[in-house]
Structure 1
Amino acid sequence: MMRIGIVGVGQVGETLGCIWARAGHEVAFGSRDSVKAAATVKGLAGAHAMTQEQAVAFGDVVLWTPRGVMPADPNLLAGKIVLDPNNREPDPGRNYASPRPNGLSYAERLQAAAPQARVVKVFNTIVMRVLRETPERLAASGTQVLLASDDGEAKTVAAGLAADAGLGAVDLGGLDASWLAEAMADAFRQGMRTSPAEWRQALVFADLTDRPN
């Protein structure tokens, strides 16, 4: 089992952190809102409420959810496996970015800001409400996430944490491929935004609807 620090207790941090705690990992939920962190860990074995800085120090693996926010002290991430699940914001017209982003991806920016971290792009292409399904049902559906990193061992760890949620993993290659994961998330979210409600439902749950509970 692993020690995992969650930086940011929003939908992504809370959802994945709870899954990992239930899978038997020691999880620290780090938030600037101590009340929210305490509420998240209530009744959850192996979970701890901390500040963001304490959660980073606690984890051998760190889930970094603040979008576009770089660490104030990059040395705190030195040697740690850092999972980046972030995607770009839509433009003012609520449309998502073009397939090939300008400049570095979020994961590459995080790696540049914390050069001794072991950054993995992962979990940015999975809709969090899908993870409310049981891991067994998700595994049976063949649902997958995408991985990109220059560190092979870190990718193996990330794939194992994905498996705890019932997710398979597709290796895109090095961290320079992380833009592809972000672009795929943009295309998916654009389709979700512009398609009728029935199609949105089908896009998210197509592989799950005809499977037994």
Structure 2
Amino acid sequence: MRIGVLGTGNMADALGTQWARAGHEVFVGGRDPGRAAGLAARIGAAGHGSLRDAAEFGDGAVLFALPYGAGEDVLPWLADAVRGRVLVDCCNPVGEGFALLTERGPAAAERLAAAAPGARVVKAFNLCHESVWRMTPPVFDGQRLAVPVCGDDTEALDVVRQLVRDLGCEPYDAGGLGRAGLVEATAALLIGLWVGRGVDARAIVPPLAHAGG
């Protein structure tokens, strides 16, 4: 699969590295040509260039790994390049004090979809620190990591489920894109518990057998 990566930060590095190892052709696009070239060299990418170059390359999928808020700036002028593309949003709209920046408004993934209405947006990969995505594979207590996936397009969801499996993880259907805000709010809660209070968040929910009473 040809995957265009928008961004040169830690998430772009971690996910791009794993997908390149899985045999996908990965192209790194960045706003800083030097950073894009450096990341491409580190992960063994098929190439590097501008954000537009990466979007046009990614006819299999395009990873949006830019900071929250950047999409509304860059996607309008990339709208033609991502039209029809599977656009994977891994970002978290979490601010100071672990506040959810989209509270009472559209989810970050929904804002991307509005900024690039022709793209097929799927929310995934936002619940874990980049170090987890570097694990090969992420397995804890003998259980593969579960990755919630939200989207409205069946074919796009199939593509992202495969990308999840390529990391050695298990995709979980979390509903349509309208539920992406719930996944983003979960990230804000968990990051606040993990980072802010040092809480093992696995302890806040019972095993499935006991979830229904």
Q: TM-score, normalised by structure 1?
A: 0.84
1:150 corresponds to:
152
Query: Which runs of 5 or more residues in structure 2 are unaligned?
Result: 203-213
The structure-2 alpha-carbon separation of the partners of 1:173 and 1:137, relative to structure 1 and needing over 3 Å to count, comes to: closer
Residue-by-residue CA offset, 1:28-68 (whole Å, 9 max, x unaligned): 01112222222222264453121111000100110012222
2:206 corresponds to:
none
The structure-2 alpha-carbon separation of the partners of 1:101 and 1:43, relative to structure 1 and needing over 3 Å to count, comes to: closer
Query: Which runs of 5 or more residues in structure 1 are unaligned?
Result: 205-213
Identical pairs, percent:
35
SS in 2 for 1:42: helix
Amino acid at match of 1:6: V
1:135 equivalent in alignment to 2:134:
no
Deviates more, 1:186-195 or 1:41-50: 41-50
SS in 1 for 2:186: helix
Note if contact 2:40-2:47 (Cα within 8 Å) is conserved in structure 1: yes
Deviation at 1:73, TM superposition (A): 3.3
SS in 2 for 1:120: strand
RMSD of equivalent CA atoms: 2.1
Deviation at 1:86, TM superposition (A): 1.1
Note if contact 1:139-1:168 (Cα within 8 Å) is conserved in structure 2: no
The structure-2 alpha-carbon separation of the partners of 1:163 and 1:140, relative to structure 1 and needing over 3 Å to count, comes to: farther
Deviation at 1:117, TM superposition (A): 0.7
Q: 1:158 and 1:106 mapped to 2: Cα distance?
A: 18
Alignment of 1:74-113 (within 5 A): 74-91=79-96, 94-97=97-100, 101-113=103-115
Deviation at 1:127, TM superposition (A): 1.7
Q: 1:138 and 1:163 mapped to 2: Cα distance?
A: 16
SS in 2 for 1:173: coil
Alignment of 1:50-69 (within 5 A): 50-60=49-59, 61-66=61-66, 67-69=68-70
Alignment of 1:1-213 (within 5 A): 2-42=1-41, 44-60=43-59, 61-66=61-66, 67-69=68-70, 70=72, 71=75, 72-91=77-96, 94-97=97-100, 101-135=103-137, 137=139, 140-196=142-198, 199=199, 202-203=200-201
SS in 1 for 2:121: strand
Q: 1:43 and 1:88 mapped to 2: Cα distance?
A: 28
Q: 1:73 and 1:38 mapped to 2: Cα distance?
A: 20
The structure-2 alpha-carbon separation of the partners of 1:151 and 1:133, relative to structure 1 and needing over 3 Å to count, comes to: same
Question: Which contiguous aligned blocks of 4+ residues in structure 1 show a shift greater than 6 angstroms?
Answer: none
Note if contact 1:147-1:171 (Cα within 8 Å) is conserved in structure 2: yes
Q: 1:44 and 1:142 mapped to 2: Cα distance?
A: 24
Q: 2:85 and 2:140 mapped to 1: Cα distance?
A: 28
Q: 2:12 and 2:44 mapped to 1: Cα distance?
A: 17
Amino acid at match of 1:82: L
The structure-2 alpha-carbon separation of the partners of 1:43 and 1:139, relative to structure 1 and needing over 3 Å to count, comes to: farther
Deviation at 1:173, TM superposition (A): 1.1
Amino acid at match of 1:17: G
Deviates more, 1:19-28 or 1:123-132: 123-132
1:209 corresponds to:
none
Q: 2:113 and 2:196 mapped to 1: Cα distance?
A: 33
Q: 1:10 and 1:175 mapped to 2: Cα distance?
A: 25
Aligned residue-pair number: 196
1:211 corresponds to:
none
